[in-house]
Chains A and B, each alone.
Chain A
């Protein structure tokens, strides 16, 4: 029972007072930004990344992870009570959750969301503990060629499962890869795209890119339209379920958890994809699909369980392969790099207390979320009444001081503002910024592995197809790409995304 002893060690790490405090801080912050529309986990993690310098790496990761899954809890609260998704992963929760609230069942909707999430979080924690060690052992056999192919597959997969134009998303990845190259080349020592700006010698900081594209751009876009927000049910009572509701919701929670756990593993997966897929599935399986959109409890239970499961299992590729599969995981790569931990299969063996401590903290964090959030819902609702005109300057201030404090230079803030401007342009042109961030984080790793693979093969590019594992991954990537670009499937795919967001 290796897992048990490992988990016991993990709980030992996660239960130390200091780590409990950071887990609590993380989930509280996560809930806060989940409740507040207009600021998501990526921007928040970017904001807090600089402040984790002084912490132990494990405490830092525990807090940052808490922000991600805490945001899934908070996002559902806003979706149910205000009919506005606090996070993109709660978009589908609005459909039925808000209708339940209008029928006076807000308490039941909130309760099922919280309990479904908790259940999913527990299952996902076990899932990570069981699957990560074998996967990372497998990945230790990877050579540079395999890694390069794996990154190609990961990036292509991320693009296919995201909505929007595929060619544009690939172009965004390439742009991200290029931006990741900025700075000193490790191999030759040559400075690339530095333009004699001393702050660029060490490359562009992930904090600047993420905060500009996801934080500043979002604020600017929000300010373009007048805000409209009304809290419908300010009084929530009866945070409990009737037996009938429980019976209706339980299978949906189980299905959502299973679906989310699996979808979280896929590149491009994570919370958002899981919740959308779960809603579609629940609607297809329902005896009476016409109830969906009118307050079906399954429409809340399934997606809310799925997004929490997906948020957590999306840590698996990061912790075992070192490959981030969505923008939040890209930020976690940044966090690990800051603390001199190279994400990859060696993390489990070289930093076992970090790995198992982080996993154990997820279970603790989920328990904290249930215990804290149900009684505190009144407080979160009151927070929603703070107008945006007071909120965004405060967010800006925290972002600005955070970015400045990374290196104590004003250049970093200017750079972040440039990325903010670029982010606004991307929003206007409907270009998704997430693939860019993935490419940005993977850029240096990808070049390094490409270089090494070709060095070993003496410049023979076919090396990627001569090694079976690498060939397999590249073939899958190419097949996926070709299939999605076929006119018929493309139409279907667009329809699917359209239906889900409509």
Chain B
């Protein structure tokens, strides 16, 4: 892509412009007010406009000045790390700390290049016990220990 000399800069700028435009669009619905009596829409709209301008400057620089390309994204760690955490948050009230920990440790371990299921399982068990001791016994967090049918 010869017209885009610095893809990193260019796409950073695009990202900023998207965020800025989004903020402008949403805060359009908030009362603007006057400078003396600022409404809830005043500050966000000013920031949104500023972000669009800054983003445009960054992107323009990306078109003119030579730079680096954007490194590629690796899906495996993204899915197994972030995805597992989201699932953990949703199921924890039902699975309890022990089962939830085993699940989180085991599945998130798959993200590594050197996944070994045996050591993942062992560390899951150790950490499940540690989590119960630290968070429930020690810090007294309001979380169930056991899975749903037994956690009443």
Contacts and interface: CB of A to CB of B under 8 A. Distances in A.
B147 interface: no
B23 A428 contact: no
A224 B40 CA distance: 42
Interface string A378-420: 0000000001111011101101110111001011111011001
Interface string B91-129: 011000100010011001101111110011001100100
A332 to B, nearest CB: 21
A152 B101 CA distance: 44
Contacts of A430: 8, 12, 68
B11 interface: yes
A224 B58 contact: no
Contacts of B82: 216, 220, 417, 420-421
A459 interface: yes
Contacts of A216: 81-82, 85
Interface in B45-84: 47-48, 50-51, 54-55, 57-58, 61, 68, 70-71, 73-74, 76-78, 81-84
A481 interface: no
A165 B58 contact: yes
B43 interface: yes
B133 interface: no
Contacts of A224: 74, 77
Contacts of B81: 216, 219-220, 223, 392, 396, 420
A54 B58 CA distance: 45
A223 B77 contact: yes
A384 B114 CA distance: 17
A441 B53 CA distance: 23
B30 to A, nearest CB: 6
A9 interface: no
A489 interface: no
Contacts of A416: 85
Contact of B44 (A178, A392, A410, A417): A178
B90 to A, nearest CB: 5
Contacts of A421: 78, 82
B36 interface: yes
Q: Which size class do A's interface residues fall under?
A: 35 or more
Interface stretch (A96-104, A183-191, A338-346): A183-191
Contact of A424 (B19, B73, B105, B124): B73
Interface stretch (A238-246, A278-286, A447-455): A447-455
Interface string B125-152: 0010001000100011111000000000
B113 A226 contact: yes
Nearest to B38: A451
A264 B12 CA distance: 30
Given A393-B105, A396-B108, A417 B85 contact: yes
Contact of B88 (A190, A388, A400): A400
B40 A187 contact: yes
Interface stretch (A82-90, A133-141, A167-175, A303-311): A167-175
A429 interface: yes
Contacts of B113: 223, 226
A349 interface: no
B151 to A, nearest CB: 14
B69 to A, nearest CB: 10
Which of B12, B77, B127 has most chain A Cβ within 10 Å? B12
Contacts of B31: 188, 190
B44 A393 contact: no
Contact of A178 (B47, B83, B105): B47
A458 interface: yes
B35 interface: yes
Contacts of B127: 393-394, 397
A355 B54 CA distance: 39
Contact of B61 (A167, A192, A193, A408): A167
B152 to A, nearest CB: 17
Contact of A390 (B26, B37, B44, B123): B123
Given A167-B54, A390-B119, A397 B89 contact: no
A59 B140 CA distance: 18
A394 B102 CA distance: 11
A192 B27 contact: yes
Contacts of A461: 35
Nearest to A394: B127
A458 B89 contact: no
Given A394-B105, A425-B15, A178 B143 contact: no
A428 B54 CA distance: 19
A457 B34 CA distance: 12
Contacts of B39: 188, 190
Nearest to B76: A223
Contact of A181 (B36, B44, B108): B44
B2 interface: no
A368 interface: no
A462 B120 CA distance: 62
Contacts of B139: 51, 54, 405
A450 B120 CA distance: 52
Contacts of A424: 73, 78
23 contacts: A51-B139, A171-B58, A174-B16, A175-B19, A181-B44, A188-B31, A188-B39, A192-B40, A392-B81, A393-B108, A396-B84, A399-B85, A401-B135, A401-B141, A410-B93, A413-B89, A417-B85, A420-B85, A424-B73, A428-B73, A429-B70, A455-B38, A460-B35
Q: Which 10 A-B pairs have the closest CB atoms?
A: A413-B89, A459-B36, A410-B89, A459-B35, A223-B77, A190-B40, A171-B54, A389-B112, A185-B40, A417-B82
Given A220-B81, A389-B109, A416-B85, 13 more contacts: A165-B58, A167-B54, A167-B57, A175-B51, A188-B31, A192-B27, A223-B111, A223-B113, A401-B141, A410-B90, A420-B82, A459-B34, A460-B35
